[in-house]
Amino acid sequence: MMTVDLRSDTVTKPTPGMLEAMWSAKVGDDVFGEDESVNELEAKAAAMFGMEAAIFCPSGTMTNQIAIKCFTQPLDELIADQTAHVYRYEGGGIAFNSAVSTRLLNGYRGILTAEMIEPEINAVGNIHYPNTSLVVLENTVNKGGGSCYTLDQIEPIAALCKRRNLKLHLDGARIFNALAHTGDKAVDYGKYFDGISVCLSKGLGTPVGSVLLASKNTITYARRIRKVLGGGMRQAGFLAAAGSYALDHHVERLKIDHIHAQILADELAKCTWVTNVMPTETNIVLFDTEGPADAVVAKLLSKGIKAGCTDTKRIRFVTHLDIHPEQIEYTVQVLKNL
């Protein structure tokens, strides 16, 4: 029986080309700043997004949490959508690491506008209020079903942040999926954000790692915070080489994942036991089931298809590097006969 793992785009294994790049990486002690492969990855990623500098970290949780620490002071407040990964899925780290409170907004599929944000910014100088200092956007929005911001939507938010003296951070775990969908250019992102977190271990298919991009000064402080969190890695170049390889070879192909997701979404829309399929823009398909979702997930698993419930009646499929056309065809056949 075929196995089709649609649980997450984090389940990918390195390709032969990526393993070769890792195997032959030039490495050194990165805590001393001497790992060539880490330095190369950081420079490459920063340049791609028009940012001054970058820092390689073990996870996207760490890059986001470091960014929040860099852009806030204790007793500040950040603004994010209620679906935000930084709030929901980082273990309460905002309060723990930064002693910052979170103001959650109700965007459409996780997408915020300047009009939604502006009334939520606290007045400066009133001791009753936490000091609003940071806005965090997510692109694509994981819990929004891979929904995307265009740069045209981001620009007014960035302008508001500038006007009200707030920092703007992007949780770009899947930013390359957003770029593949919108056609915006990575290099233009640097103009709008103070910090950008990019995951290398999602759609890009590396085993480990994320990069935080920001100004030189911010990254200098970020290196201190990474050390405090225990994220200073030594010969990390073996992992960074996988990241550089992915930036060179795995960005263009993301559109294949999006085509695969659309095929699944189209088939699901025809299934009588599916009550709703969320709009599918990138590599995530969210859909609602008539009966309990876990029963459907168990049925799929008996056919070799792995998926996750995100709610009692909601299932998530995520396409990625290790999902090939024949697995999509097989999944479509199973869905037809379920």
| Pick 61 or 72: Cβ nearer ligand PLP | 61
Q: How far is Cα 95 from Cα 99, in angstroms, rounded to an integer?
A: 4
Q: How far is Cα 179 from Cα 139, in angstroms, rounded to an integer?
A: 9
| Pick 121 or 198: Cβ nearer ligand PLP | 198
Residue 299 CB, nearest approach to ligand PLP (Å): 26
Q: Which two tokens stand for residue 47?
A: 């340049």
Q: How far is Cα 148 from Cα 78, in angstroms, rounded to an integer?
A: 21
| Pick 184 or 267: Cβ nearer ligand PLP | 184
149: left (phi over 0), alpha (psi -120 to 50) or beta: beta
| Pick 145 or 190: Cβ nearer ligand PLP | 145
Burial 200-214 (b: 16+ CB within 10 A, else e): bbbbbbbbbbbbbbb
Angle 310-311-315 from CA coordinates, rounded to 5°: 55
- Name the nearest CA neighbour of 323 among 277, 262, 244: 262
| Pick 202 or 260: Cβ nearer ligand PLP | 202
Residue 306 CB, nearest approach to ligand PLP (Å): 17
Q: 3-state SS of 91-124? A: CCHHHHHHCCEEEEECCECCECCHHHHHHHCCCC
| Pick 121 or 168: Cβ nearer ligand PLP | 168
Residue 202 CB, nearest approach to ligand PLP (Å): 6
Cis peptide before 63 (omega within 30 of 0): no
Residue 193 CB, nearest approach to ligand PLP (Å): 15
Residue 56 CB, nearest approach to ligand PLP (Å): 12
Residue 210 CB, nearest approach to ligand PLP (Å): 6
Q: Which residue is nearest to ligand PLP (CB)?
A: 60
Q: Are strands 53-57 and 308-311 parallel, antiparallel or unpaired?
A: unpaired
Q: Which two tokens stand for residue 85?
A: 């990964």
| Pick 241 or 318: Cβ nearer ligand PLP | 318
Residue 58 CB, nearest approach to ligand PLP (Å): 8
Residue 140 CB, nearest approach to ligand PLP (Å): 8
| Pick 143 or 260: Cβ nearer ligand PLP | 143
| Pick 208 or 332: Cβ nearer ligand PLP | 208
Q: How far is Cα 231 from Cα 57, in angstroms, rounded to an integer?
A: 7
Report the DSSP beta bridge partners of residue 102: 78
Listed in order, strand segments (DSSP E) in 195-311 are 195-199, 210-214, 274-277, 284-289, 305-306, 308-311
Length of the chain: 338
- Name the nearest CA neighbour of 117 among 154, 88, 86: 154
Residues that bind ligand PLP (CB under 6 A): 59-61, 64, 85, 138, 142, 171, 173, 199, 202, 210
Q: Are strands 305-306 and 308-311 parallel, antiparallel or unpaired?
A: unpaired
Residue 182 CB, nearest approach to ligand PLP (Å): 17
